[in-house]
Structure 1
Amino acid sequence: MSTVTESAAQMRYARIAGFVYLLLIVLFMGGQLLIGHVTGSGTFAERTVRIVAELPLYRAALVLQFLASVFTVLLAYSLYVVLKSVDEHIARLALYFRLGEAFGGLTAIVAFAALALRTEPEFAQSLGATQMKALVDLAQAADFASFNIGIVFFSFGSTLFYRLFLRTPYLPRVLSAFGMFASALTFVVAVTSLVMPAWGDALQVGWVPIFIAEIVTGILLMVRGAQSAQAAAIAR
């Protein structure tokens, strides 16, 4: 009975994990696109004027990215439930690494503080434009560093989870292997960005494999989790 119950839980959490994989991409990329749409290009003062003009939209973009960190916890736990029967020790280690990634959501505090510096009149009056820009630049540097540090945690956790998927029927072996490669590649991108931040733009292509892997993984987990649940219901 306990085996049947555990199998049903794995099916349910596989569907949850698949959905959250896709949701995280929507949340993160949606936040990035909104931020880029609002700020655009130009001088610090020009970008600040645009942020003030569309402040609710900019705040919504920051919230979307914060929610991506929150839902990372749900994804990590769901994957742990699905894969702990394969190797509980590795699954638990992967869970801890992905939770380490989720703590990157604390940088939302820095992002909202930087936003306050740009938009609250009292800061501009007390600090002056030069000092205010320096503090905002410092906050953005902290955000950049914390993002890449979070990606290092992500890389280890994601690689381990995909390693476990190699031993399950949820994903094709080629996708699991590709997911391991894509996850390891994000480690290279993150560490290189921390060491040589000037290479940031050139390294953007390194994110493409993991986006492909996670989109396909999300779809397959939702579909195969549902199919397994239906098969179990018919068997009963």
Structure 2
Amino acid sequence: MSTASESATQMRYARIAGFVYLLLIVLFMGGQFLIGHVTGSGTFAERTAHIVAGLPLYRAALVVQLLASVFTVLLAYSLYVVLKPVDEHLARLALYFRLGEAFGGLTTFVTFAALALRTEPEFAQSLGASQVKTLVDLARAADFASFNISIVFFSFGSTLFYRLFLRTSYLPRALSAFGMFASALTFVVAVTGLVMPAWGNASQVGWIPIFIAEIAIGILLMVRGARPAPATTIAG
């Protein structure tokens, strides 16, 4: 493949990566908002009634979360194509970590199982309301653990990709370094959630830097693509 063709491919995939960075934020936040909107507040029975009343919208929210995992694969591959010329081995390792994140997120089936327990009458009739609640709580705990485990994979993969960006002129070096810091911080958030779940809500502030970084980087990549400076890489 010619150098011109390789550069065109990198440019195209950089713009795809930028778009998907922004799309994933919309999908993640949109799914969370819809779930919270449908579920509302109150007792277990009241929240279940809200879900039954808004069941199509609730299912759509779960599909939105599933799509976030699917598009993570596209983001990971796009970043790999863009950054492979910098260090192919490190880029491949980052790709594998991000794929681990995506497959971890595919445990949405646990949430669908919990939804069936809450909304299909035969489960309440055969198990009893108390046991259904216990199983739904167990499914929620499994989903919470799965999410945090997937974030551990995300943290390693994202940190490595930003490390590779730091060695290029595709992004401002300060922004690449901030992306590394923000990605590493999500590891702290995830491990805190796994080790000390009671602190989970307090640690959510740790998500703010990665949201800022990915919005900024997504916009830059979508607008500029992979436009290298005269020197292809910067030692580092």
- On whether the aligned pair clears a TM of 0.5, the verdict is yes
Q: Identity over the aligned pairs, expressed in percent?
A: 87
* Equivalent residue, structure 2, for 1:172: 172
State the secondary structure of the residue aligned to 1:66.
Answer: helix
CA distance in 1: counterparts of 2:218 and 2:170, whole angstroms: 11
How many residues of Structure 1 are paired with residues of Structure 2 in the alignment? 228
Matched, 1:95 2:123: no
**Runs of 5+ in structure 1 lacking a partner?**
230-236
TM-score normalised by structure 2 residue count: 0.95
> What amino acid sits opposite 1:61 in the alignment?
A
* Equivalent residue, structure 2, for 1:200: 200
CA distance in 2: counterparts of 1:225 and 1:52, whole angstroms: 45
> What amino acid sits opposite 2:56 in the alignment?
P
RMSD of aligned C-alpha atoms?
1.1
The 5 Å alignment of 1:95-134 reads 95-134=95-134
* Equivalent residue, structure 2, for 1:145: 145
CA distance in 1: counterparts of 2:154 and 2:35, whole angstroms: 23
Structure 1 residue 186, shift from structure 2 partner: 0.2
CA distance in 2: counterparts of 1:59 and 1:225, whole angstroms: 35
Structure 1 residue 104, shift from structure 2 partner: 1.7
Q: Which has the higher helix share?
A: 1
CA distance in 1: counterparts of 2:214 and 2:23, whole angstroms: 11
State the secondary structure of the residue aligned to 1:30.
Answer: helix
Structure 1 residue 223, shift from structure 2 partner: 0.9
Q: Deviations over 1:113-156 (max 9, x none)?
A: 00000000111110100000000000000000000000000000
CA distance in 2: counterparts of 1:58 and 1:179, whole angstroms: 33
Moved more, 99-108 or 78-87: 99-108
CA distance in 1: counterparts of 2:41 and 2:107, whole angstroms: 23
Structure 1 residue 72, shift from structure 2 partner: 0.2
CA distance in 2: counterparts of 1:149 and 1:51, whole angstroms: 27
Contact kept, 8 Å, 2:105 with 2:146, in 1: the verdict is: no
* Equivalent residue, structure 2, for 1:16: 16
CA distance in 2: counterparts of 1:37 and 1:70, whole angstroms: 24
Contact kept, 8 Å, 2:10 with 2:82, in 1: the verdict is: yes
* Equivalent residue, structure 1, for 2:136: 136
State the secondary structure of the residue aligned to 2:41.
Answer: coil
* Equivalent residue, structure 2, for 1:163: 163
State the secondary structure of the residue aligned to 1:41.
Answer: coil
* Equivalent residue, structure 2, for 1:82: 82
Question: Runs of 4 or more off by more than 6 Å in structure 1?
Answer: none
TM-score normalised by structure 1 residue count: 0.95
> What amino acid sits opposite 2:61 in the alignment?
A
CA distance in 2: counterparts of 1:122 and 1:19, whole angstroms: 44
* Equivalent residue, structure 2, for 1:185: 185
